[in-house]
Structures are given as C-alpha cells and as structure tokens.
Structure 1
Amino acid sequence: MHHAPRPCSVAIALGSHDLTVADTTADLYSRGMAPLVVMTGATSPTSAARMPLGEAVHYRRRALELGVPESAVLLESEARNTGENITKSRALLESTGVEVTSLLLVSKPYEERRAYATLRKLWPSVDAVCASAPMTYDDYVSAIGDEDLVVAMMVGATQRIIIYPERGLIIDQHVPAEIHAAYGRLCDRGFTGRLVRDESRTEPRRV
C-alpha cells in the first residue's frame, strides 16, 4: 500500500505463519508508532506446524523477546481469518476501554492490500496505516524457507482481492489486467493450494 508509518492508537498484528509480522510490530512499537499492540490469530493449515500454540501466542513471545513489555501486548487467540482478526481485535479493544481512532495494520507484505480492504469494510470509521517487513521477494522467500508456499499464498491473496467484494467481505480494489494474467499463469503452473475452492462459479476470470 506504500503507507508511511506514523503514530497510531494501536497496532494490530494479523496472525499468520510468518514471524516477521511480529518482528515488524515490535519494531514499530520501539519507534513510538503505537503504545499498544494486539497479537491476533489462532492456527491455520499453514501455521499449525510452525506455531502449534497459536499464531497470537507465538507472535507475543517474539515481541516480548524483542523488548515489547507485557503491559503493552493484548492477546486475541481465536481469530481464524482476516475478517475475524479485525472484528475480534476490535471487540477486545472495546472491552478493555481502549479508544481507537487510528491503527497500524501489520501483515505479510503481500497481504497489505487485502488486509486494508477488509478493514475498510468491517471497521470503516478508523484511520488505518498498513505496514509489513520491508523485504525484497528473494529475501522474503529466504526468510520463510519455502518458495512454493510463498507463491501459493500470493496467488490465494490475489484471488480473494478479486472475488471477496462480491461476497461482501472486503471493499472493491482495482486489479490491473497484468495482475489477472499473472494470476492465471501461476494457477496454470499449479500454485493453487491456497485458492478458495467453494462457489467455483465466482473464481476470477483469467485474462
């Protein structure tokens, strides 16, 4: 999204298999960009082996190791998708009396746009700044250690950006023709493990 980090009411780290999300959140906290962070996420097929205790729990552990104090971390350990990450984090913040006018939404680099579109649909009143690890593709693949997984996740994220507005899950985002074409080529090469498979009639047109 090319957002410049700036101080916000809270940072929300969206759960995943990627601990660099926790690293980025801890860095933003250390730079004074948010006085409070929410680690959110249960487990998923891609994170269960790497994070058996749950994404939020492992995120929290990493943040504490990196110097974020316990008092600055809230734990939301039930969310199983991006929509729940946002709605359950919002409910947690409201239940603890935290006033939120702006937030840092921290995700994997290739999930920034979908995370933003989800937030705008589910929590439109809050001002959002997206953030992720500033890494090249090659460096990111090296950090994850599994290029096939990274590409499959990127293909899945692209599909969701295209089809989720029809389902009322996110706001509409313009997807250029070259992105549709790249999506189709990668699907043809077998990177389909993270596609939404139900309601196949809504699968994106390959241009």
Structure 2
Amino acid sequence: MMPPETPAQGLGGMHRIALLGPMGIGKTTAIHALCGSDMVSTDVPNLDRVAHTKEYTTVGAEFGEIDLGDGERVQLCGCPGQDRFDFMRQWAISVSVGIFVMADLHAPDALESTSTLLHETAATPLPPVTLVLSARQASQEQIEAFAAGLMAAGHGVVPVLPVDVRDRNQMLQALGVLVTMLSLRNESL
C-alpha cells in the first residue's frame, strides 16, 4: 500500500490548487474560465431547488489543468459546496499546495463560512497557501472590512481579491498572486 499523497510529494512538475466555497459561488465557472473545455465536470441537474436555485450542481470533484511550460502544470480541483461532500473537500485540501476560498461578501454567512473553510485548511499538517476570492462584485470598503473580519477571527492577514470568475485574465491574475505567495513561503522554509 502506498502512503497518502501530500502536497510536497508525488506531483512532480504538477501543482494542485483547490477551489472551495458555497454552492453556486462559481467554482465550476472559474475552472472553465481557466481551462476551457480541458476540464472534467461533474455537474448534474439540481434536485434541491430549496437550497439553491441554480439549474445544475456539482456532485464530485471537478478537474482542469493549465500548462505553464517547462514541464510545470497546475491542476485545479473544484469541490462541491454542500456539507455532505466535506470528505471530498478534506481530501482536496490535503493534496493541494494552494487554495482559493471563494466568497460572496454580500451573503449574511460569508464571514462565518469563509472562516470555517480557513480553519479547516489551517488544520492540515502542511497548510496550503490560501487566498480568498470575492467572487461577487463588492466595494473596496466591503473587501477591507471582510479582510479585517477574517483577521479578527484569528486568521491573520488573508489576502482578499475581487475577481470576476468568468474572466480568464482576472483568474490568471489571482493564480499569479497565489503562485507568488507559494514562492515566498517556499523561500522561507
């Protein structure tokens, strides 16, 4: 039996980044924006329209891949937002070097749900570098207040970037920030 894969082992020139967040926040859309048709989607018709009005929902991990050249690749893994799939989220966190936590800063539970995901991510033996994406339009004041709320909840300084998850260039910029954060962490290890 092989030992479990860790972020630092077994990926060669591939780095995995997980996308976490509530149902309907845009994880599938973000992966599609970055990878186009080179993604595996697990969307099925949404039968629970009480929980969310979206037509389709993700029921398994979704994967996409970006070739950075020189043998370096980034694999994106989107996790379902429903709590019943927490086992999948925990796996994705455990094998990822970076995390995008996606949030709607207008949602009444945004700070609490983001904080929960940040605690879950920080609880791993080698916590992945984490970046929060404000996936719905928000003012600079809202973003700063949200970041301050995360700091007050004990998460330290967590970057919160506004992005339109449908825009490939904005997602690539967010990916660039995460890669820079990873480089800085690796330099300090």
The TM-score with structure 2 as length reference comes to 0.36
The TM-score with structure 1 as length reference comes to 0.34
**Which of the pair has more CA radius of gyration?**
1
The structure with more helix, counted as a fraction of residues: 1
